[in-house]
Amino acid sequence: MTLRSINPASGETLAEFAEHSAAEIEARLMHAHRAASVWRHTPVGERALVVARLGALLDQEKDRLGRLMTLEMGKLVGAATAEAAKCAAACDFYATRGPQFTEPLPVADSEHRSFVAYDPLGVVLAIMPWNFPFWQPVRFLAPALVAGNVALLKHASNVPQCALELEALARRAGAPDGVFQTLLVGSDAVPGIIADTRVAAITLTGSEGAGRSVATEAGRHLKKCVLELGGSDPFVVMPSADLALAIETAVKARTINNGQSCIAAKRFIVHREIAAAFLRGFTDGMRALRVGDPLHPATQLGPLASARLATELHEQILRSVALGARVVCGGTRPDESSAFYPATVLTDIPADAPAYSEELFGPVGCVFVADDLHDAVRIANDSRFGLAASVWTGDAAEQARFIRELDTGSVFVNDMVVSDARFPFGGVKSSGYGRELSDVGLREFTNIKTVRIRDAAGASAGKTE
């Protein structure tokens, strides 16, 4: 199998890479296993220094790396450069704060010297998507390395250049041989890698289907896994909200990364009292977006990552319309070979339509009308997904109810949902389980070990002079 790097804006093939053979996979697993036994005993300060140097390289070369992301998967070049800078900030966070996250946690115990230790697991396989080709791997990699784990990256098959570049950056940052390696393999190779006894755990960001497959394999071999899957995030707007700001943010939240983000707002649930005004303003904002070359700084909406993805999105729209959904703007695809898809707004969406229950991975906003707060919560929770939510209200009591009642991994009030290294990130229901980022994400891939020491002689056990 050949992995192809294709510019979605032009259809041009940029590079081709041969998939790793079974022998090459074995060699990388062997190197990772050997490196794990050394890296876990490397002082945490040295591990953090490697991550700090990786962050410095990401920041220094963010323009070059941003251009690579844009060419390979079509994100706006400004957003791609910002992604590299965000990766640098995450590395800095873990280089600075990560060592304290690995320290034993003392536990009050009158009869023992007791603490909880956080030991690395070993080799962790990371299966990552194409939509944030640097941020997705780095938000796992930085905490994993500081914690003392080593990593194997199976990146999406359409971003091989980004995968290889990240490996090269880690090597330049001083990561020893085998501590971080890229596997150029297709999804068919994943079950065998998960089954390998040298792999201790798995993390996956991807589709619901991919999550079920990986969880099945991980369960079969009794291995820890963290899953960050799809989302159909609600964006709830109440009458007390700043409507102009909510509309402006709604357009940005729906079209971030050309609409290809698991935490992009997708379902806009608006109180009946302001629904007409919101729909009008939101539609105007979506129509006004400048579509074009993602390398051009004035472009506001670029292509999807491939023409195939545009076709799949369009089929979801067509099936929804056939069942009664109404297209307010967009929804047409004049060139079926193109990866570009127009900014689209749907409303009057019936419960049996794909736009109601499925994740739409592209610039398509679905507007729903709620009678009151209770109805807004009902609609928001009427989804098998539960990743994140954005709620817009100036009423403190309403804010408290949304925070308490929404079934999501995070709730943002009067703001757009974003990921941030300081806070745990992940979802519930079919959006997956486990958490990335913060101290919680670092400790996901550690052996959380309880230690209780009783000194029979009455001396302070474990002390050294």
Active site residues per annotation: 228, 262
**Whole-angstrom distance, CA of residue 318 vs CA of residue 330:** 12
- Residue 189, number of CB atoms within 10 A of its CB: 17
Q: ∠455-459-463 over CA atoms, to 5°?
A: 90
- Residue 96, number of CB atoms within 10 A of its CB: 14
Let me know: does 408 contact 384? Beta carbons within 8 Å.
no
Q: ∠163-1-338 over CA atoms, to 5°?
A: 70
Nearest in space to 416 (alpha carbons), one of 230, 233, 229:
233
Let me know: does 202 contact 224? Beta carbons within 8 Å.
yes
Specify whether the backbone of 248 is left (phi greater than 0), alpha (psi in -120 to 50) or beta.
Answer: alpha
**Whole-angstrom distance, CA of residue 41 vs CA of residue 58:** 26
- Residue 13, number of CB atoms within 10 A of its CB: 10
Specify whether the backbone of 53 is left (phi greater than 0), alpha (psi in -120 to 50) or beta.
Answer: alpha
Q: Which residues have a Cβ under 8 Å from the Cβ of 108 and sit 6 or more positions away?
A: 114
Q: Which residues have a Cβ under 8 Å from the Cβ of 432 and sit 6 or more positions away?
A: 211, 226, 227, 228, 229, 387, 426
One-letter amino acid at 347 equals: T
Q: Which residues have a Cβ under 8 Å from the Cβ of 329 and sit 6 or more positions away?
A: 283, 286, 287, 342, 343, 344, 345
**Whole-angstrom distance, CA of residue 442 vs CA of residue 317:** 39
Tokens of 349: 């969406």
* Residue given tokens 């050394």 in the structure block: 38
Per-residue CA distances from 117 to 98, 107, 247 (Å): 14, 11, 47
**Whole-angstrom distance, CA of residue 207 vs CA of residue 375:** 29
Let me know: does 289 contact 327? Beta carbons within 8 Å.
no
